[in-house]
Amino acid sequence: MAKLFTNVMIFDATGRAPFPGEVLIQGNRIGKVAEGVNQIAREGAGDLVDGQGMTLMPGMTEGHCHMSFIGVAAPAELGETPPEEHTLATMHNARLLLDHGFTSVYAAASAKPRLDVVIRNEVNAGRIPGPRIRAASPEITVTAGLGDERKLHLHRESFALIADGVDEIRRICRTCIREGVDNLKINISGDEFVTHCKAEMTVMMDDEIATAVTIAHDFGKQIACHARAANSVKRAVRHGVDVIYHCDFADEEALDMLESVKEKIFVGPAVGLLHNTLYEAEAYGMTREVCESMGFYRKMEATKATYREMRRRGIRVVPGGDYGFAWTPQGTNARDLEHFVKLFGYTPTEALLSATKIGGELMAMGDELGQVKEGYLADLLLVRGNPVQDVSVLQHQHNLAMIMKDGVAHKLDLRAQAGQIAAE
């Protein structure tokens, strides 16, 4: 059934300022986009939807998504969750992300090998609601790397698969691909949460990285990595990793290398977890003193400097902030756009483009996703307020009057004033 949206301000994600116009949806595609009033013939246009001056924009892409991270305070809790309960919780998170305007997600690791795959398949089959999903493997790490929660006297699982050396990396990567993932994820560096493997340590070897990248690309898949240390970023670029997360401590050489491949790669700061650890996690033991002792304030300053420089160099950066921990609850993911503005110096328009146009490119669908453009897929939001003036409006469900994916309205609530709607 066709739908014609009238009386809307169109943010088309081309970089142009919002403009008054009309948009015709035909099937699952955008049929026409017109500037002005009464520019599209009403005959045969199907349902007319008066947008009441609201902003019509592309759906957002969550670029560092952990759908199967279910509010845990420690990584080992993900390993302790039984697969049956974990599958259901991941299913609920998929709907929650769609409920908050994320019509696409690029998975940055699954907590168990097939969680993302199963949910993607069910969404694609139309049996459960959820966004478009590029399903990921668990985080592939090395002994003593980020995600290795084992002790000599105690076997523990977390969110990782552990592989040492080329042969083990090859086997695990091929196994994950056999099981249906779209993306592989490798942990090249450590993290402050790991006592023996800190963020500025590079612990995955060149031959291990090269093997994982080769396997991914040989099978037509993408590969992402966790890389905080400058040297880990350089190894990722050198070996052709597609999506490089964090990069907090990238030095000048690493930034130069990233810029040299900026037409090929994507970068994501995942700053939401860092921000909330510093300012919203005291109830979980992350006091100012603890954060200071673990180096989080220093890392925030490094992250801000790195991403201000990436913005200047035109490197493609995507939102997504390691949501799914106890102090970064799923559904609050749109806070990342405000972080881009306040922490990294992005304009609101630039932040929106990161979540829409660049998000479509990240999903490997840049020629049909992420813009309000004729022929593109009808993944759209109708927003109360003007996100170009204030990106924070996207953080509130009551401001999302419509969420449309593939031409179907997942939500449609045209009450004119946000004040008429109870806070959700």
Give me the sign of the Cα torsion angle 233, 237, 238, 240: positive
Q: What is the mean pLDDT of residues 263-274?
A: 98
Q: What is the mean pLDDT of residues 14-37?
A: 96
What's the token pair of residue 68? 């199967």
Residue 265 has pLDDT above 60, yes or no: yes
Q: In this predicted structure, which of 119-128, 402-411, 415-424 has the lowest mean pLDDT?
A: 415-424
pLDDT band at 14 (very low <50, low <70, confident <90, very high): very high
Can you tell me the distance from the alpha carbon of 358 to that of 342, in angstroms, rounded to the nearest whole number? 20
The total number of residues written for the chain in this structure: 424
What's the token pair of residue 83? 């697969």
Percent of the chain with pLDDT over 90: 92
Which pTM was predicted?
A: 0.96
What's the token pair of residue 108? 């940055």
Determine the pLDDT at residue 345. Answer: 98
Can you tell me the distance from the alpha carbon of 393 to that of 395, in angstroms, rounded to the nearest whole number? 5
Determine the pLDDT at residue 42. Answer: 85
The residue to which tokens 């009403």 are assigned: 42
CB neighbour burial string for 245-282, b if at least 16 within 10 angstroms, e if fewer: bbbbbbeeebbebbeebeeebbbbbbbbbbbbbbeebe
Give me the sign of the Cα torsion angle 287, 288, 289, 294: positive
Find all residues with CB under 8 Å of 226, minimum gap 6, and list them.
139, 146, 185, 186, 187, 188, 189, 191, 245, 246
Contact between 250 and 244 under an 8 Å Cβ cutoff? The reply is no
Tell me the pLDDT tens digit for each residue of 188-214. Answer: 999 998 888 999 999 999 999 999 999
Tell me the pLDDT tens digit for each residue of 346-404. Answer: 999 999 999 999 999 999 999 999 999 999 999 999 999 999 999 999 999 999 999 99
What's the token pair of residue 142? 């090395």
Can you tell me the distance from the alpha carbon of 191 to that of 148, in angstroms, rounded to the nearest whole number? 12
Residue 7 has pLDDT above 50, yes or no: yes
Rg (CA), the chain: 21
Helical residues (DSSP H) of 8-108, grouped into ranges:
76-80, 83-99
Tell me the pLDDT tens digit for each residue of 120-177. Answer: 999 999 999 999 999 999 999 999 999 999 999 998 888 999 999 999 999 999 999 9
Q: Is 9 helix (H, G, I), strand (E, B) or coil?
A: strand
Angle among Cα 213, 330, 193 to the nearest 5 degrees reads 60
Can you tell me the distance from the alpha carbon of 416 to that of 51, in angstroms, rounded to the nearest whole number? 9
Find all residues with CB under 8 Å of 216, minimum gap 6, and list them.
173, 177, 184, 222, 223, 242
Q: Mean pLDDT over all residues of the chain?
A: 95
